[in-house]
């Protein structure tokens, strides 16, 4: 409930946190109903499209004075990752606010805060009498935490998305523990790679030729050797961030029947996050390692994406970036430009050649997305609305170029 002292925007944020859009059974129906009320308060056009049955994407639209111009997209996802309540100070869906103004709840950082900050900034802009040259679309999409396979991946292929004519999309970033805020102009691409090795089976007492164990050893050494190189590259260059290198992690081994039987098959899986500069050549690496390991070694890549596109963030070379950067300077926001080390729905948007920036205006905040006791301070949250006020105003009124 709202108290006399609490800003209505904070109350709105806390009410959003209380909606249990948590996997594996997110309450998208209650969320959609809540967002419909938000659209009504904003006096925005409202529609719901199902990416697949039961997975609704909410779209709000504020028509610009020159609707033929490329539009601004403000994207956020409605789903949140699972919780382990025993490790939380407070109920993760109570949106409890302590005496310091810290609001606890799953989604406070990832990323219900941003969705509400968009809405509250737009409400204030309209109340202050501002008009927008360009059309503004807000999308609230499902299943981002599952890779967007049943959400944004489908939405970008739909006619309703194509008709939006987007020039720039804004999406989530990270909390920052320092004064600076991070803005992400690209992202690494996640690949789930499984290597299957086939060879000669037999009794464990023999020197059997062509065994799967030797082949698997070569594969593991190749992948983890590359991992060591990338880790050392990051350590050796303080100007690099995690998003500038490729991470490789072995995540499971499978195979075998009995301890005294040499198996005919063994497999290993890796979680790989590929930086944009490596994406076009990385499959060649995998293919080469498999060939070196011997006959009967094959690979599969689950949900293969080839997102190499990045947004130009050089001053004077991209009007969208210049407008965003100018708004941040006006708000005294110190920006750090980075490649996002994880994965967001922008991987699907960037592949269409659309400018995209990841930005969550949260500084002086520990990074707790997906962690226990995720929280955001109400002052940081409200400051984010101020920042988006300036950003949206600049971007939505960017003159034709």
Tokens linked to 171: 């999406």
188 and 343 Cβ atoms separated by less than 8 Å: yes
3-state secondary structure of 370: coil
User: Choosing from 79, 171, 196, 345, which is the catalytic residue?
Assistant: 79
Distance CA 334, CA 359 (A): 12
Where are the strands (E) in 43-188, listed by range?
45-52, 55-62, 71-77, 102-104, 136-141, 166-171, 181-187
Read off φ and ψ for residue 248, nearest 5 degrees: -130, 125
Match 């290198």 to its residue by tokens. Answer: 245
CA dist 120 → 8, 171, 308, 337 (Å): 9, 16, 33, 26
Q: Which of 321, 344, 205 is nearest to 273 (CA)?
A: 344
Q: Tell which phi-psi region holds residue 143, choosing left (phi > 0), alpha (psi between -120 and 50) or beta.
A: left
Active-site position among 120, 144, 182, 378 = 144
Q: Which residues contact 52 (CB under 8 A, 6 or more apart)?
A: 150, 154
Q: How many CB atoms lie within 10 A of CB 214?
A: 15
Element spanning 36, H or E? helix 28-42
Backbone angles phi, psi at 304, to 5 degrees: -65, 125
Which run of H or of E encompasses 34? helix 28-42
304 prior amide bond cis, ω within 30: no
**Spatial distance between the Cα atoms of 317 and 326, rounded to a whole number of angstroms:** 14
Q: Name beta bridge partners: 261.
A: 203
Residue 88's DSSP bridge partners are: none
144 is catalytic: yes
Structure tokens at 43: 């006096």
Q: Counting every residue, how long is the chain?
A: 401
Catalytic residues: 79, 144
């Amino acid at each position: 409930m709202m108290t006399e002292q609490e800003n209505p925007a904070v109350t709105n944020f806390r009410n959003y946190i209380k909606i249990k859009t948590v996997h594996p059974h997110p309450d998208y129906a209650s969320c959609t109903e809540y967002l419909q009320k938000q659209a009504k308060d904003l006096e925005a056009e409202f529609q719901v499209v199902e990416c697949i049955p039961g997975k609704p994407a909410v779209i709000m639209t504020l028509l610009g004075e020159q609707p033929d111009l490329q539009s601004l997209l403000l994207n956020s996802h409605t789903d949140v990752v699972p919780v382990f309540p025993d490790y939380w100070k407070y109920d993760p869906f109570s949106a409890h606010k302590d005496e310091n103004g810290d609001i606890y709840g799953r989604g406070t950082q990832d990323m219900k805060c941003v969705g509400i900050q968009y809405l509250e900034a737009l409400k204030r802009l309209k109340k202050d009498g501002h008009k927008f040259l360009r059309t503004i679309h807000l999308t609230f999409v499902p299943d981002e935490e599952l890779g967007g396979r049943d959400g944004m991946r489908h939405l970008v292929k739909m006619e309703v998305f194509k008709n939006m004519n987007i020039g720039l999309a804004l999406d989530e970033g990270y909390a920052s523990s320092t004064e600076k805020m991070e803005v992400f102009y690209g992202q690494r691409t996640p690949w789930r790679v499984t290597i299957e090795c086939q060879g000669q089976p037999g009794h464990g007492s023999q020197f059997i030729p062509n065994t799967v164990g030797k082949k698997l050893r070569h594969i593991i050494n190749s992948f983890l050797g590359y991992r060591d190189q990338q880790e050392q590259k990051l350590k050796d260059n303080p100007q690099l961030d995690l998003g500038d290198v490729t991470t490789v992690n072995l995540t499971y081994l499978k195979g075998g029947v009995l301890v005294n039987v040499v198996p005919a098959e063994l497999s290993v899986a890796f979680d790989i996050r590929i930086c944009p500069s490596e994406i076009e050549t990385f499959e060649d690496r995998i293919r080469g390692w498999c060939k070196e390991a011997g006959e009967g070694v094959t690979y599969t890549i689950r949900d293969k994406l080839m997102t190499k596109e990045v947004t130009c963030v050089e001053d004077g070379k991209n009007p969208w970036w210049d407008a965003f950067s100018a708004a941040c300077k006006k708000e005294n926001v110190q920006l750090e430009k980075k490649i996002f080390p994880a994965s967001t729905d922008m991987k699907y948007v960037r592949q269409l050649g659309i400018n995209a920036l990841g930005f969550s205006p949260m500084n002086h905040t520990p990074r707790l997305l997906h962690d226990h006791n995720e929280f955001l301070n109400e002052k940081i949250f409200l400051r984010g609305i101020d920042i988006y006020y300036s950003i949206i105003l600049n971007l939505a009124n960017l003159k034709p170029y």
